[in-house]
Structure formats: C-alpha cells, structure tokens
Structure 1
Amino acid sequence: MSTTDEDVNPYDLLGISIEATEQEIKTAYRQRSLKVHPDRNRGNPDAARKFHELHQAQELLLDPLRRMALDAKLRIKEARKARYASYDAKRKTMVEDLEERERTLKKARVEKEAEKKARWHENERIMEEGRRLREERERELQRKEREREELSKKAQQATSTGMEPPALGLLDTTVRVKFSLSAHPTVTDASSLSTLLAPFGPLDDASIVLSLKPAPPKKPKRVTALVPFKQIGGAFAAVCASGRPESGLGDIEVDWAEGKEPELIGWLKKMGQLGGDGAATKNANLPKQNPNSLRTPATVDSRSATDTTTAPPPTQETSFSSFPSTFPDLSAVPPQPSAPTEVPGLDYESLTLMRMRQAERARLEREIREREAQEE
C-alpha cells in the first residue's frame, strides 16, 4: 500500500506519535476522515484520495505485525538521520554521493526492465504480425487453389458436354489390317504394306507390325498387321476405304486398332464436322460393286463446286480413288475451320478430306440400299 512507503508516514497522516495506543489511532482516524469525507467535499477532487489514504493508514496501524514492521523501518530511518547529522561536511558529501549512485543504479535498473518489457512486447507484436501474414498467405493460396480446382472442374464439364475436343489417344491413328495372302500374295512385309496404304496418308513405316498366321486346314493363310498413320485423317480414310476394290483395298479389311471408333471421330460427327452420325468403321455386309458403277470426280474447277462429274474406271495410275463423286457445297464453307475449338492433330485440309470421304461413304451406302430395293 502507499502508506508503507518511506515518503508517506501513517503516523503523520493521522497526526499521532509512534507510541499512540489503539484507541488514539481510531479517534484520530475518525476526526480526520470526517474532514475529507467525499460526501462532505464534493467540490474537492482530492477528497476521495485523502480519505482512502487515511483508511489505509488506520488498517496498517491496527494490524500488530504490520505496525511492528513499520516501526522498525521508521526507527532505522531515524537512526540514519541521526548518524547523518553527526557527520562532518566531507562525510555528508560522501553519503550523498553514495545515495545518488544508488538512486542512479535503481533508475537504470528500472529503465532496463522497462526497456526489456518494451522489447518483449515488440517481439510479441512482430510474432503476431508474422502469424497474421502467414495466415493471409495460406488463405490466399487456398483461394487460388480453389479457383484452379473450379477452372479444372469447368474444363472437365465442358469436355464432358462435348464443347472441347477429346485428346488424341495413343492408338487413334493406328489401324488393324487383315487380308488373305492368297488374294494379295505380294503384300508379305511392312514395306509392301506401306506402299499399299501410302495413298491414304503418311505412315510411320518403322512402327508397322505385320504377322503371318499359319493357315488352318483347307483355309488360306491370313495376314494381320498394325499400321500407324501420322495423322488421324489418313487412318480415317483407310477405314472408310476398307474392302473397296476401287481404292485398292479389295478383300482387305481395315478397322481401328482398338476395335472401336476414336473419340475424336465421334466428337467431329457430333459437332457436324463429318456429316451425319453414320458408322465410320467397315460395314462387312456391303455387297461388292462393279467399279464401273461407282463414279469418281475427274476434275474440280472453279466454275462449279457442286456439279457432279463422271470419271473413267480407276486404273493403276489413279493415286487415290476414295474421293466422293459428289462434292459437298464448298461455296458455303468459309476458308477457315468453322469449329470454334482447334481439333488436335487435324488441319483444315485434313478435316475437309475427312468430310468428303464420309460423304462418299454415305453416298455409296445409299446407292447400294437403293439398288437392293430395286432388285427386290
């Protein structure tokens, strides 16, 4: 309490001597407290403080142990004053210097403690600021991660709804070729097979795999090969020309290596880039036709893009006879791809050729169905 300090003497506050009795302490407190009671001194701002000091002084002096400690301290102080009074001028100066140094050391110690405490608070503030910045960075990273996940999810949804073209698979440009060796005795190795399929597009000759299967009893020897094209357009053209003599693939079965149409071809059909949704794989039930009954374009000039022309039957000099006899109306087609999304592995020319081959196949199937209907 403040009354225990050396600068505040409880006896002086109550106006009594150090030998005062308990009754004298109570009487002195009652008399002095009435003078500074806050209710009687509403205009005095120090009245409450003085009243509190008097109350603390009374409590201290009425406690025997605390009063005993206070009396001992006061006696030591009085003895020090008495000794100081008996000193000569030189010794008084030495005592004053000593006390001054003690006060200076005490002040320095207090300032050091205050500085240490301020430094601790500053470290705490810096650590708190670091935690706050770290949490903000983590929240920012989490926000960016959520945005990336949302973009990825939207991209997947766009792909699943067909707006984006599917990626080109590893075997999407590879076809499986099957034929009887008796029908094509000269096609016995990868080089001859590459020459046979070269008109449909560039091939990866080094990756062609050809297998000669042993012939069962009374059956001709069969040849199976996997032929990778460099572009899916070439593979599509070969599959469309499967089994067609006018394309040089009579008695040769050409199908997709995976046994099903690539997703990219299905996507092109769905987006209207290859005409209707007709099958792009070989139709084994199609009857063989006389090559003279199939028409191929002899010339294509700028005078009429939609006129149909009749060409002589294909000969050995014909490099590629799988073009349609009736060209689609290219005058309405812009010079750039109409699809808003770039199709991987296809340029505009390849896409146009695939459209023409699909149109030709649809035309041939239609003519065959009409001819069968007339025969019936």
Structure 2
Amino acid sequence: MDSEIDVYELLGVSVEASDKELTKAYRVKALQHHPDKNRNNPNAAKLFHDIKAAYDMLSDPQLRSDYDDKRRASLAKRQRLDALSSQRKRMKSQLEKDERDARHSRDQERARTHDEAARFRDETRRDEARRDKQMREHVQREEVMEEVDEMDRSVRVRWSGATHDRESLARVFAVFGELEEVAVAPSHSGRQSALLVYKSVAAAHALMNTRAPGAEVAAFERFWAAGAEPRSVHGVSGTKMPGDGPRLPANEATRDSEQGRRVRIPNISAIDVRSLPGANMSFSDFESLTLMRMRLYQDSLAK
C-alpha cells in the first residue's frame, strides 16, 4: 500500500471510528470495489488490496497507534509547509507591490526631471532672448549716439565770480545726464567759460531747456556750442523747432549711400559760412574744444 494514502479516508471513516464502524466500513468498501464487480477497471484489484491492508492496520491497536503518530506528524509537517507557502505568497505579493511602487516612483521622478529640464530650457531661451534684446537696444543706443555730432551734444557755459574746475562743473551739470568731457577755457577779464560734452543730445537739451534750474545752474549762462539749437534736438523735443531751414532747392542732387538711404548733396555755392555750426564760437571756446578732442584721441590710443 502506498505510504501517502490516508487509510481513514480510504475506508471513509473518521480518526475516532470504533472497531465496529471500521468493520462496517470495510465490508461496504470491499463489496463496492471487488475485482469481480469491476472487471472493466484495471485498478480494481489494487484498490481492493489497499482497502484490505487499511482495515488490517486499523484493526490492530498497536499498528493503528503507530500510524496515528505518523499521521499527526505528517499533518503537522504539511501545515508548516502550507504556512510557509502562504508566507512565501505574501512575501511575493509584497515584493511585487514594492516593485510596482518603485516603478511608479521612477516614472514620477523621470516625469519631474523632464518637466524641470523643459522649464530650464524655456528659462534659458527667455534669458537669451532678453539678453539679445538688451544687446540690440544697447547697440541701437550706441548707434544713435554715434550718429549725433559731438557739437550737437555740447553746451557752452559762462560765469563770473566763483572759480570752477572740471570736477566741480561735472558735479553741477551731471544731474542732466552723463558727461563725456568737460573742457575749461582760460579765464579772460574775470569771466570764465567751459564746454560741456554730454553723451546724449537729450541731456544737453535738458540742460538748455530746464525751466526751474537750481541755484548752482542758474549762476551760469548757457549757450549751444554750435551757436544754435541743433537739428538733432528735434527728435528729442518731438516738435519742429524755430529756425529749421527751408527745403533744399530743386537743383540739389541726390545719391544712394552705402546704407541704401537717399543722401542729399547741397549746392556748396549756396552755403552761408556764417550759418555753419560753431561759426560764432569765440577763439577760447574753439581752443578748449580742440584741446579736449586731442586729449580724447590720445586716451583712445593709450587704450
């Protein structure tokens, strides 16, 4: 008989069955599985033999006691294995859950990294665009300043009494804008004069047109270095200023410049030299401007 067969299950009785219950159960099973009644079943003889062996074992008190001890040990072992199997199943389920959670966390982290990288690229593009815009505006401002003649950005001041040098004049007149140069002319008969060259024509315009000059500024007489308000100031004031010349005569020629703009060529014979910028400057002012320009040229060579 196979050792794995449970004889109680084979006879169909409980572990607490009495001898009488065992005998009755054996007779029923023996009649039911007798080979003569199960000729078509090739396993009928073996099953009938196992039923007989199970009854013989349980009928003997000693053999039954030994079998019960082995059966309880086997059941306890099976229960332990089942418990371990359940524990392994729980551990497997937990490991699978941990793996799913870790995968989900990795996906979230990758998504956050992707979003942060996208934000960083967008911020970098915005910063580059902002720097490009600032650079273009700076270049445009430089080009505008370069297009304005130095004389258009220059104001001549005259005073008497107090003594001023380049530093004190720069302190007084820097409130209107950044100064490029201050040239002080030699004094004549107690009166002094200086030339103020601003970096922008707007600053020079602000000085010449201030309606409420402070006490320090009011002590100075102010004149455009060119002798009259320059045409470039019109773009600052936004209005057409008195003294604008008439339209060019019809006989004036035009040609194309390198920048593609139409450049007017005046009739030189019609120019009044007295109307040229700076024609009415005093010799001392002209000398101061010349010395200032020589100093600026030397500074540029030193750089």
Q: Which has the higher strand share?
A: 2
Q: Radius of gyration: which is bigger?
A: 2
TM-score, reference length from structure 2: 0.42
Q: Which has the higher helix share?
A: 2
State the structure with bigger RCO (CA 8 A, min sep 6), 1 or 2.
Answer: 2
